Amino acid sequence: MTAQSEPPHAARRAYPSVPRQVYLLGTCLVDSFYPQAGMDAIRLLEAQGIEVVFPQAQTCCGQPAWNSGYDEEARSVARQQLHAFAADIPVVVMMSSCAGMVHKEYPLLFRGQPEEAQAIALAQRTYEFSEFLVDVIGVETLMGTATDAGSAALTVALHTSCSARRSMGVAEQHRTLVENLPAVTLVEPERVTECCGFGGTFAVKQADISAAMAADKAAAVAATGCDLLTSADCGCLMNISGTLSKQGKEIPAQHLASLLYQRLYATEGES
Amino acid sequence: MSSRERILARLRQAAVGDSPRVPQAVSSDRVWPAPDKADWLDALCQNLRDNHAEVLLTDQQTWMADLLARLQKYNVSRLLCGNHDTAARLQQYIQSQSDDIDTQRVTTDIEKEVIFQQVDAGFSVASAALAETGSLVIETGPQEPRTVSLVPPLNIILVRQSQLQADFSAWAASTSVPDPMPTNLLLISGPSKTADIQQTLAYGAHGPKSLIVVMLTDA
Amino acid sequence: MAESMIKLRDELDAEQQDFSDMQQQHFKVRARMALENDALRNSFRGASDFLMAKRASVFPDDEALQALRSRGEAIRQHSLNHLPDLLETLEKNLTANGIRVHWAETADEACALIHGILADNNARTVVKGKSMVSEEIELNHYLQEKGIECLESDMGEYLVQLAGETPSHIIMPAIHKNKEQIARLMHGRAETADGQGVPYTEDVDELIGNARAILREKFMNADAGISGVNMAVANTGTLCLVENEGNGRMTTTVPKLHIAVTGIEKVVEDLADVPELLTLLTRSATGQKISTYFNMISGPKKNDELDGPEQVHLVLVDNGRSRIFNHPVLQPTLQCIRCGACMNHCPVYARVGGHAYGSTYPGPIGQVVTPQIGGLDNNGDMLSACSLNGACGEACPVRIPLPALIRELRHEANHPQFINAADADLTRVKQRGAKRSLGESIIWKGWALAHRYPPLYQMMSRSIAIGRGLLSGSLGNRLLAPWTDSRTAPKAAAQSLHQMVKKRGVASQPGQHKEHEQ
Ligand code: SF4
| Average pLDDT rounded to a whole number, residues C488-505 | 91
The domain spans of chain A are 20-136, 149-264
pLDDT of residue C503: 95
Residue B86 has pLDDT above 60, yes or no: yes
Question: Which among C330, C337, C370 is the best mutation to test ligand 1's pocket, defined by most ligand atoms within 8 Å of the CB?
Answer: C337
The confidence band for A39, taking pLDDT boundaries of 50, 70 and 90, is: very high
The topology (CATH level 3) of A20-136 is: Rossmann fold (3.40.50)
pLDDT of residue C482: 80
Residue C112 has pLDDT above 80, yes or no: yes
Q: Give ∠ CA A235-A140-A163 in degrees, rounded to 5.
A: 20
Residue B15 has pLDDT above 80, yes or no: no
Picking from C27, C24, C19, the residue whose alpha carbon sits closest to that of residue C379 is C27
Percent above pLDDT 70 for chain B: 95
- Length of chain A in terms of residues written: 271
Burial of C216 (0-12, 13-18, 19+ CB in 10 A): buried
The domain spans of chain B are 33-193+201-216
pLDDT of residue C425: 84
Give the model confidence (pLDDT) of C352-402 as tens digits.
999 999 999 999 999 999 999 999 999 999 999 999 999 999 999 999 999
Residue C295 has pLDDT above 70, yes or no: yes
Q: Is the minimum CB–CB distance between A193 and chain C shorter than 8 Å?
A: yes
Residue of C nearest to A235 (CA): C490
Percent above pLDDT 70 for chain C: 95
Residue nearest to atom 8 of ligand 1 (CA): C339
Q: Among residues 324-383 of chain C, which lie with CB inside 8 Å of chain B?
A: 325-326, 328-329, 331-332
The confidence band for A7, taking pLDDT boundaries of 50, 70 and 90, is: very low
Q: Is C339 left (phi over 0), alpha (psi -120 to 50) or beta?
A: alpha
CA distances C94 to B181, C160, C309, Å, are 11, 33, 15
Give the model confidence (pLDDT) of B18-44 as tens digits.
444 444 557 778 899 999 999 999 999
3-state helix, strand, coil in chain B (%, to 5): 30, 25, 45
Give the model confidence (pLDDT) of A108-139 as tens digits.
999 999 999 999 999 999 999 999 999 999 99
Residue C476 C-alpha to ligand 1 middle, in angstroms? Answer: 42
Give the model confidence (pLDDT) of A151-181 as tens digits.
789 999 999 999 999 999 999 999 999 999 9
The confidence band for A267, taking pLDDT boundaries of 50, 70 and 90, is: low
3-state secondary structure C452-467: HCHHHHHHHHHHHHHC
Q: Is the minimum CB–CB distance between B195 and chain C shorter than 8 Å?
A: yes
Q: What mean pLDDT is reported for chain A?
A: 92
Q: Is the minimum CB–CB distance between C457 and chain A shorter than 8 Å?
A: yes
| Average pLDDT rounded to a whole number, residues B174-198 | 96
Answer whether C64 sits within 8 Å of B32, measured CB to CB: yes
DSSP H or E stretch at residue B64: helix B63-73
Residue C334 C-alpha from the chain's centroid? 13
- Going by their DSSP bridges, the two strands C99-104 and C311-317 should be labelled as parallel
pLDDT of residue B21: 42
CA distances B146 to A3, A231, C295, Å, are 39, 59, 11
Answer whether A76 sits within 8 Å of C482, measured CB to CB: no
Residue C20 has pLDDT above 70, yes or no: yes
The confidence band for C474, taking pLDDT boundaries of 50, 70 and 90, is: low
Give the model confidence (pLDDT) of B123-136 as tens digits.
999 999 999 999 99
Picking from A25, A19, A31, A171, the residue whose alpha carbon sits closest to that of residue A99 is A25
Give the model confidence (pLDDT) of B151-167 as tens digits.
999 999 999 999 999 99
Residue C47 C-alpha to ligand 1 middle, in angstroms? Answer: 17
Residue of C nearest to B10 (CA): C322
Give the model confidence (pLDDT) of C215-261 as tens digits.
999 999 999 999 999 999 999 999 999 999 999 999 999 999 999 99
Percent above pLDDT 70 for chain A: 93
pLDDT of residue A149: 61
Cα separation of C288 and C280, whole Å?
A: 10
**Sign of CA pseudo-dihedral A38, A43, A48, A50:** positive
Q: Give the CATH number of domain A149-264.
A: 3.40.50.11810
CA distances A270 to A22, A145, C283, C349, C504, Å, are 21, 16, 54, 47, 11
The topology (CATH level 3) of C2-317 is: Rossmann fold (3.40.50)
The confidence band for C471, taking pLDDT boundaries of 50, 70 and 90, is: low
Q: Are A100 and A140 within 8 A, CB to CB? A: no
Question: Which among C77, C230, C338 is the best mutation to test ligand 1's pocket, defined by most ligand atoms within 8 Å of the CB?
Answer: C338
Residue A9 has pLDDT above 70, yes or no: no
Helix (H, G, I), strand (E, B) or coil at B106: coil
Q: Give ∠ CA C22-C27-C33 in degrees, rounded to 5.
A: 50
First to last CA, chain C: 90
| Average pLDDT rounded to a whole number, residues C112-127 | 98
Helix (H, G, I), strand (E, B) or coil at A120: helix
Answer whether B8 sits within 8 Å of C247, measured CB to CB: no
Q: Give ∠ CA B50-B55-B58 in degrees, rounded to 5.
A: 150
Q: Is C61 left (phi over 0), alpha (psi -120 to 50) or beta?
A: beta
| Average pLDDT rounded to a whole number, residues A252-262 | 95
- Going by their DSSP bridges, the two strands A253-255 and A228-231 should be labelled as parallel
CATH homologous superfamily for B33-193+201-216? NagB/RpiA/CoA transferase-like (3.40.50.10420)
The confidence band for A270, taking pLDDT boundaries of 50, 70 and 90, is: very low
Q: Are C381 and C27 within 8 A, CB to CB? A: yes
Residue C337 C-alpha to ligand 1 middle, in angstroms? Answer: 6
Give the model confidence (pLDDT) of C161-212 as tens digits.
999 999 999 999 999 999 999 999 999 999 988 889 999 999 999 999 999 9
- Going by their DSSP bridges, the two strands C125-128 and C224-227 should be labelled as parallel
DSSP notation for C211-248: HHHHHHHHHHH-SEEEE--SEEETTTTEEEEEESSSHH
DSSP H or E stretch at residue A127: strand A126-128
Q: Are C372 and C380 within 8 A, CB to CB? A: no
Structure pTM? 0.95
Residue C363 C-alpha to ligand 1 middle, in angstroms? Answer: 10
Non-local CB neighbours of A84 within 8 Å, separated by 6+ positions: A55, A57, A58, A59, C454
3-state helix, strand, coil in chain A (%, to 5): 50, 10, 35
Q: Are C31 and A209 within 8 A, CB to CB? A: yes
Residues having CB closer than 6 A to ligand 1 are C 336-342, 365, 395-398, 400, 402
Of A36, A56, A215, the CB nearest to C508: A56
